[in-house]
Amino acid sequence: MTIISVSGSESPESIQTPLIRGVVQGSVDYKGLPIYRSNSGGWRSASFILGMELAERFAYFGIASNLIMYLTGKLGQSTATAAENVNLWSGASYLFPLIGAFVADSFLGRYLTIVVASLICILGLGLLTLSATISSFSDSNCSSTNTLTSCSPSSVQVDFFFFSLYLVAFGQGGYKPCVQAFGADQFDEKDPDERKAKSSFFNWWYFSMCSGILVAQLILIYVQDNLNWTFGFGIPCIVMVIALFIFLLGVKTYRYSVKVEGKSAFQRIGQVFVATIRNWRSSCSAIALEEEACGSLPHRSSEQFKFLDKALFAPNGSKEHEIVCSLSEVEEAKADLTREPSGITMLQRIGTGMCLSALNMAIAAVVEMKRLEVAREFGLVDKPNVTVPMSIWWLTPQYIVSGVADALTLVGMQEFFYDQVPRE
């Protein structure tokens, strides 16, 4: 790292120039070498990642949104069985990211995990397309016979379909916990402009995610219901292949986080809490006196969560045989809840979204009261198959408020989680 000396005669502009073009600390390029701010990261790299997010959501919801129709139609399952299988698959899809996050943090890193998980997802989508093609051939042979047995898919076909389906879930489980964090890694926390741009990145990430879902539900469901399932599963596969190719084009511009050797973040933070519990009988005044006498606490700790300062204290007065945490480890365990460069803090954004969610429930209650009033007026109470004469626009306010609340809460939570989790 280059050390730049600054004399009193230098102008602020000359001081800022080396910083802007300097090395990004904590990140390297794809060869493991120091990487410069001027030719890496930022929106240049984030755009590739946002495209990947859009494609992945398009592929996943292209399957999930209409899966029950395939199970009850092509596979001939009952509605109850199909609903159970959809719920099991959805649940697995939300659990697999735990495995993906562990693999990324402990072994492969975010970039390689995204690439490997995308390949697994593409393989699963390809096998789903093959499964749908085989099912189409079976349907054509079934039309020439009248026996129910010949029209039912074989157990091998069903097993092959579910293997492919869960392979897609496993792939997105490796991709999902990494892509957003990898995108945020492209913005340097120490640069004021990039720190502000990182906050905007989470907004664009949410926009890309919702765009992928919207396009999938507008296009893929129509293709699956009106054309055939081979195209319905094949289009997401092709889109994922193109997205992965585009994602790989940015390999030379990405910033890769440096993996610090030694204790993991979980070990460091866990050690602080273990040491605090061990020293729970020690008073804060005793700790302060010892640290002052030993001169081992040159910097004052933060005022938040002062009880964690007990992890700095060795009960027997000797730190050679006791696990004593450093000040940096204790401060790492203390969550700073207000770091935010934009006009509204992350917690304020989340709180605003929650308040809007409560308002949305009140609006929904008013609309439901109006619906019941109209139903009683026309004698339509307890007639679920009859349409109540109300305009669908009555539902518009609550859906608008719901969308705004979701955008504030979800994006704020994602940015908050990224900001609070310690970097390796």
Averaged pLDDT, 192-208: 87
CATH superfamily of 23-138+153-257: MFS general substrate transporter like domains (1.20.1250.20)
CA distance 225 to 217: 12
Strand partners, 36: 23
Nearest CA among 217, 245, 228 for reference residue 129: 228
Nearest CA among 313, 328, 354 for reference residue 423: 328
112-151 pLDDT per residue, tens: 999 999 999 999 999 999 999 888 766 656 655 555 445 6
Whether residue 56 contacts residue 178, with contact meaning beta carbons closer than 8 Å, is answered with no
> How does the average pLDDT of the chain come out, rounded?
78
365-412 pLDDT per residue, tens: 999 888 888 888 888 877 777 788 888 899 899 989 988 888 888 777
Q: Does residue 213 carry a pLDDT above 70?
A: yes
Side chain identity at residue 383, one-letter code: K
CA distance 307 to 379: 64
Q: Percent of the chain beyond pLDDT 70?
A: 71
User: What pTM did the predictor assign?
Assistant: 0.68
260-298 pLDDT per residue, tens: 555 555 566 667 667 777 766 666 555 555 555 544 444
pLDDT at 376: 87
Tokens matching residue 129: 């397309």
Out of 80-89, 183-192, 334-343, give the one with best mean pLDDT. 80-89
- Region for residue 41 given its phi and psi (left: phi exceeds 0; alpha: psi -120 to 50; beta: otherwise): left
For 371, the enclosing helix (H) or strand (E) is helix 346-377
pLDDT at 232: 92
Taking CA atoms, 267 is separated from 66, 181, 329, 360, in Å, by 43, 21, 10, 42
Taking CA atoms, 139 is separated from 98, 146, 148, 159, 231, in Å, by 39, 12, 12, 18, 16
Residue 154: pLDDT band with limits 50, 70, 90: confident
Nearest CA among 138, 172, 137, 152 for reference residue 62: 172
307-324 pLDDT per residue, tens: 666 666 665 554 444 556
Out of 167-176, 261-270, 346-355, give the one with best mean pLDDT. 167-176
CA distance 357 to 402: 6
Output phi, psi for 388, to 5 deg. Answer: -80, 130
117-126 pLDDT per residue, tens: 999 999 999 9
Averaged pLDDT, 54-72: 92
pLDDT at 3: 33
Q: Does residue 219 carry a pLDDT above 80?
A: yes
Averaged pLDDT, 220-237: 92
Q: What is the CA radius of gyration of the chain?
A: 28
Higher-pLDDT residue of 159 and 149 is 159
Q: Percent of the chain beyond pLDDT 90?
A: 30
CA distance 96 to 175: 10
pLDDT at 20: 43
Residue 421: pLDDT band with limits 50, 70, 90: low
Secondary structure of residue 34 in the 3-state scheme: strand
Higher-pLDDT residue of 196 and 298 is 196
Side chain identity at residue 292, one-letter code: E
CA distance 100 to 346: 26
Q: Does residue 299 carry a pLDDT above 50?
A: no
pLDDT at 416: 75
Residue 339: pLDDT band with limits 50, 70, 90: very low
21-42 pLDDT per residue, tens: 578 888 888 888 888 888 888 9
Taking every pair of C-alpha atoms in the chain, what is the biggest distance, in angstroms? 94
Strand partners, 28: 34, 256
CA distance 82 to 72: 6
pLDDT at 415: 75
Q: Give DSSP secondary structure letters for 170-231.
A: HHHHHHHHHHHHHHHTTS-TTSHHHHHHHHHHHHHHHHHHHHHHHHIIIIIHHHHHHT-HHH
Tokens matching residue 98: 């735990």
Q: Which residue matches tokens 């450093």? A: 326
Q: Does residue 241 carry a pLDDT above 90?
A: yes
CA angle 254, 256, 260 (to 5 degrees): 170
Higher-pLDDT residue of 280 and 171 is 171
